[in-house]
Structure 1
Amino acid sequence: MKQLFFLMGMLVVSAGVLAQERQRISFDEGWKFHLGDATDPHRDFNYTIGNILAKTGDAANTCIKMDFDDRDWTPVSLPHDWAVGLPFNHVHNGDVDAHGYHAVGALFPENSAGWYRKAFMVDRKDSGKRFVIQFDGIFRDSKVWVNNCYMGGHFSGYSGAAYDITDFLRYGGKNVIVVRVDASQYEGWFYEGAGIYRHTWLNEFDNTHFALNGGVYVHTASKGEDAEVTIETNIEGSGAETVSASILDRKGEMVAKGDGGATIALTVKKPVLWSLENPYLYRAVVLLHSGGRVIDSQTVRFGIRTVTVDKDKGLFLNGVPVKIQGVCCHQDHAGVGSALPDYLQYYRIGLLKEMGCNAYRTSHNAPTPELLDACDSLGMLVLDETRLLNSGAEYGADFEQQILRDRNHPSVFMWSIGNEEWVIQYSVTGKLIAQHQIDRQRRLDPSRTCTYAANVGNVWHGVNEVIPVRGFNYNLGGLDAYRKEHPDQPIMGTEVASTVSTRGIYIKDTVNAYVPDYDSVAPPWASTAEFWWRIAAERPWFMGGFAWTGFDYRGEPTPFQWPDINSHFGIMDMCGFPKTVYYYYQSWWTDKDMVHIAPNWNRTGKEEGKPVAVWVNTNAENVELFLNGKSLGKKEMPRNGHLEWMVPYTPGKLEAVAYKKGRKITAVEETTGEAYRIVVSSSSGGGVTVYNCAVVDKQGKEVPDAQNLLHFSVSGGARIIGVGNGDPSSHEADQYPEGGWQRHLFNGKCQVIVQSTGAAGPVVFTVTGEGLVAAQMKAGGGQ
């Protein structure tokens, strides 16, 4: 394989033993960044003043020029989201509100344009190859130059873009790539970030090669006890003679091989099927031959499974019925905004799996590829949604690119062609656009079907006339009537529930913009978790649905606005800390023994004797509640429901004792003392560690309402890249580029994300707080 190393700020690519085969080289390191200005050319390196379009290679004395001095620019690694580090600005504007009050967008031109530069080298030995720079996602409206020459631009913040830079390279010498990003125009109504917030790659391949996007398509079909694996290839260039393919199992052992033309059909004997419980992945190694040598190769991970949709019985995976226990999610996370390290995708999907979730809707845009990798590996179905219902040239091309990119992923079980297009979804125009997009999907991926997320209730006209699977966004009161009128159309809940709650807050607080942490409050257009899930569970023809949302996200503050800066819709907060509704879903979406009490049992002295609403979630048959050893009554658990008691507050021990199939299950909430010592837990992978911080009292009991200010540092080969605490009204910084990292606990918890720098030396993470015993954790474990 090729080796990469940095020399004097430039990426050097040296030839390797497999120079004849494709190379996909990470291009994330070694960038420089500087803010520009979306409206003032003088503050935007004279962009638009000098004519950079008159002659190829004439950069008109701007930062586009190769010899521009960028030594005072900020070094950054990709993915990079500059918006998450911007201050909050309380202005009265609907779009600013919806995007979480960060000072980015057209009202803040000084923060809404950014420039990236990177110097790199390509070995002279590779001068006969083709080089394509690939951006997985830039928000938004990007322009790209290489060596003073304009490569092209891309408007979308969610679909990737690629540019063949072969003709413009200087082999054996310095090359400079420059990217201008303009995030002035929002694309959605939620936090979207700004910058090159997904990975970037340098692709090198022969002049005859598999197409960069959609070059190898692997799809499967059952064949009795065996599976037929069809490999279709799309070859660009000329001179290739044959294609060969091998299929390897998880151990790397070959289970099938063959060769032929552009399409090869192979048989895998008695395959291990990809499923939610056992997400088994095979690899297809596909080689392109010419003149007796390999000139290109692609390795594709894929799963062997069947997905069928039945109008009367719902969804089937490998012939087994599956009720969709899904969530919708936006793509940002506490501390890092939209620029998530790969491991955070796995971390988030793991939290959802633990809850019992089995499906994920990419609301409302093409996801980052690493999310789909995580879903493939961990066993999570994906409803893959495009940004906009639009069959025009640009959005139509985006949808095609999304299908070509994502169709090899076994986790993707269905496509969504759009969401709540209230202007056109009732109309003939909407119907015609939908037909075009449906035809496009069937042509590029006949192995799957599609839906559309419609917030129209029992309405047939427009998009719903032609969509293969009817998607319901809320309006479940019209579900049965629609089913009766259209019994031949399968139905799923594309967006349901929308409970609003704030982790660890149990009263309505309009000053701080908090909502009680029960499954009790929902906007007028939505419902609680319990309301929708009862409907789904009782109707076999209803495939299930996707709750809004798995996690809180920046922007779209509901039901309050400022000081609220993010949504309250999450089943978990922005850090992934569970709210009470998490345990409702876990009780009915899993069979694990569980019981959970809400609220915590810390109160002020003024509240003693006042009634407290106590909720218990469990999948046991019955629950008896005890306060300081005294029974408060035993209740039977209603199917798909929860239990409630009104309990006069007395400090001490609140205990729920439940019985499930004869087994005793208990949960306890106790009054604690003051915070005494910091405790840290961690989860890590791929060079990233998520540290979750809490405090305990002198008896070792976690203090659930603690709000202490904590300070963080890391030594060794790692750096902190973001902090958060799940507080939807916090205006603390998510990032501290100059150091001095800190964050208040919010109801007992906060989170720190640490990333490896690759430097040598043991990594030690330290947390301190005034009056608290500090905590230290070495990489890989122990405090």
Structure 2
Amino acid sequence: MTYLMKQLVLLLGVLGTLTGGAQQASLVWPSAVNSTARTQLFDQDWRFLRDSVPGAEQPSYQDDTWRRLTLPHDWSIEDLPPQQAGTVAGPFARSSAGATSTGYAVGGTGWYRKTFTLPPATGAKRVSVRFDGVYRNADVWLNGHHLGFHPYGYTPFIYDLTPYHTGSGIYRHVWLTIAESIHVAPWGITVTTPQVSDSAAQVQVRTVVVNQGSIAAPVTVQVLLQTADGRVVNSTRKTATVAAAGRTDVTQTLTLAQPKRWSVETPYRYRAVVTIRQGSRTVDSLSTPFGVRTIHFNAQTGFTLNDKRIGLKGGCVHHDNGPLGAVALDRAEE
């Protein structure tokens, strides 16, 4: 099958005590997983092949000849053709098979494989993998199990690896999460400031709590508001019961006295720290930054931020970094 856009096929291989990890380790270099970190960067020790090959989704497939690399990665800026004025410029060629569909870059099909070891301490915890961005048409397997297909190239996506583990390119970061059965859902914290004045701001924190266990669970959700330097300025807690194999939304409202406004000149941010407890045991804790500001649009004044009119200037700015390709290099993104 021919694809004009970049077609990606990804394989995650997990080594564990039930799969004979030592035998598979002769084929690849397994990465160690930190059992104490809830979410950890998963960019290291991937294998890559720019080709379409049968059977590469199987754990037994030998990929020892594939290139070893660290993500993020963009193969469209590799192996550049000879430069020719008016025909070839950097990674862009008029003869590209994808033409405008691939931005006159090479496109094609690529495979990525990664083998990693989950520590025994993982136990009954839930393990998931999050891709910040894969361009595009990404099929993902784990130990031969097809986890899913993600067609869009610009949005993040998550797969639950727990049922399947035993014991162009991926141009953005990849993260591995190990959490308890009761935890905050992915992107499960939302902070809004519905009322803002110079004397006080109302802060609403909505938390989605997930229970992937087999029995209903009472939990306590605590929210701390912190300043940019980590000082706690308010806190609250609320109890809820999360049904087995269910989820519940917990909304809490706090007051922030004399808030510092977020603005273009002074982008000050607070932090909301959410902690989930069962009895005295902490089962999950996450935080998210937020700014306090007011925005308004109308036909007479245009856009105002904190009651100050600001002219909006736009541009056609793509996600890539020119000759650096689409790779999300942190320094280049700045």
What CA distance in whole angstroms lies between the structure 2 residues aligned with 1:97 and 1:310?
38
Pick from 17, 28, 42 the counterpart of residue 27 of structure 1.
Answer: 42
Q: Which residue of 2 aligns with 1:96?
A: 99
What CA distance in whole angstroms lies between the structure 1 residues aligned with 2:273 and 2:328?
29
Pick from 63, 77, 93 the counterpart of residue 70 of structure 1.
Answer: 63
C-alpha distance after superposition, 1:710-742 (max 9, x if no partner): xxxxxxxxxxxxxxxxxxxxxxxxxxxxxxxxx
1:260 Cα deviation after fit:
1.5
What CA distance in whole angstroms lies between the structure 2 residues aligned with 1:70 and 1:288?
42
Aligned letter for 1:15? S
> Is 1:45–2:30 an aligned residue pair?
no
1:102 Cα deviation after fit:
2.2
Contact 2:173–2:328 under 8 Å retained in 1: no
Aligned letter for 1:338? A
Contact 1:240–1:288 under 8 Å retained in 2: no
1:335 Cα deviation after fit:
2.9
What CA distance in whole angstroms lies between the structure 1 residues aligned with 2:96 and 2:228?
55
Q: Which residue of 2 aligns with 1:239?
A: 217
Aligned letter for 1:234? V
What CA distance in whole angstroms lies between the structure 1 residues aligned with 2:286 and 2:197?
25
Q: Which residue of 2 aligns with 1:638?
A: none
Q: Which residue of 1 aligns with 2:176?
A: 202
Q: Give the greater-gyration-radius structure (CA).
A: 1
Q: 1:170 to 1:328 in 2, by over 3 A?
A: same
Pick from 184, 192, 205 the counterpart of residue 219 of structure 1.
Answer: 192
- Secondary structure of 1:241's counterpart equals strand
1:15 Cα deviation after fit:
3.2
More helix by share: 1
> Is 1:79–2:83 an aligned residue pair?
no
**TM-score using structure 2 length:** 0.80
C-alpha distance after superposition, 1:411-440 (max 9, x if no partner): xxxxxxxxxxxxxxxxxxxxxxxxxxxxxx
Map 1:668-683 to 2 at 5 A: none
> Is 1:132–2:132 an aligned residue pair?
no
Contact 2:96–2:104 under 8 Å retained in 1: no
Q: 1:308 to 1:15 in 2, by over 3 A?
A: same
Q: 1:224 to 1:276 in 2, by over 3 A?
A: closer
> Is 1:142–2:116 an aligned residue pair?
no
Map 1:132-211 to 2 at 5 A: 132-171=128-167, 194-211=168-185
C-alpha distance after superposition, 1:97-125 (max 9, x if no partner): 57443232xxxxxxx11000001011111
Aligned letter for 2:53? F
Contact 2:35–2:178 under 8 Å retained in 1: no
C-alpha distance after superposition, 1:142-180 (max 9, x if no partner): 111111111111111111221100011122xxxxxxxxx
1:333 Cα deviation after fit:
1.1
C-alpha distance after superposition, 1:309-338 (max 9, x if no partner): 122111111111111133331011133211
Map 1:480-629 to 2 at 5 A: none
What CA distance in whole angstroms lies between the structure 2 residues aligned with 1:81 and 1:240?
46
C-alpha distance after superposition, 1:686-714 (max 9, x if no partner): xxxxxxxxxxxxxxxxxxxxxxxxxxxxx
1:283 Cα deviation after fit:
0.8
What CA distance in whole angstroms lies between the structure 1 residues aligned with 2:236 and 2:103?
54
Map 1:746-761 to 2 at 5 A: none
C-alpha distance after superposition, 1:505-524 (max 9, x if no partner): xxxxxxxxxxxxxxxxxxxx
1:92 Cα deviation after fit:
8.6
Aligned letter for 2:278? S
Contact 1:284–1:300 under 8 Å retained in 2: yes
What CA distance in whole angstroms lies between the structure 1 residues aligned with 2:129 and 2:287?
19
Contact 2:191–2:203 under 8 Å retained in 1: yes
Map 1:280-295 to 2 at 5 A: 280-295=268-283
Aligned letter for 1:229? V
> Is 1:336–2:332 an aligned residue pair?
no
Contact 1:208–1:240 under 8 Å retained in 2: no
- Secondary structure of 2:274's counterpart equals strand
- Secondary structure of 2:333's counterpart equals helix
**TM-score using structure 1 length:** 0.35
What CA distance in whole angstroms lies between the structure 2 residues aligned with 1:287 and 1:92?
51
Q: Which residue of 2 aligns with 1:228?
A: 202
Q: Which residue of 1 aligns with 2:113?
A: 117
- Secondary structure of 2:99's counterpart equals helix
Q: Which residue of 2 aligns with 1:575?
A: none
C-alpha distance after superposition, 1:198-252 (max 9, x if no partner): 1111111111111113x11001131451111100111111414211011111111
Q: Which residue of 2 aligns with 1:316?
A: 304
Over the matched positions of the two proteins, sequence identity in percent amounts to 32
Q: Which residue of 1 aligns with 2:88?
A: none
What CA distance in whole angstroms lies between the structure 2 residues aligned with 1:99 and 1:117?
24
Unmatched tracts of structure 1, length 5 or more: 1-6, 37-43, 47-61, 105-111, 172-193, 347-783
What CA distance in whole angstroms lies between the structure 2 residues aligned with 1:154 and 1:263?
31
**Aligned residues, how many?**
282
What CA distance in whole angstroms lies between the structure 1 residues aligned with 2:199 and 2:238?
25
Q: Which residue of 1 aligns with 2:291?
A: 303
User: Cα RMSD between the aligned structures?
Assistant: 1.9
Q: Which residue of 2 aligns with 1:273?
A: 261
Aligned letter for 2:231? E
- Secondary structure of 2:265's counterpart equals coil
C-alpha distance after superposition, 1:636-677 (max 9, x if no partner): xxxxxxxxxxxxxxxxxxxxxxxxxxxxxxxxxxxxxxxxxx
Map 1:243-258 to 2 at 5 A: 243-258=221-236
- Secondary structure of 1:275's counterpart equals coil
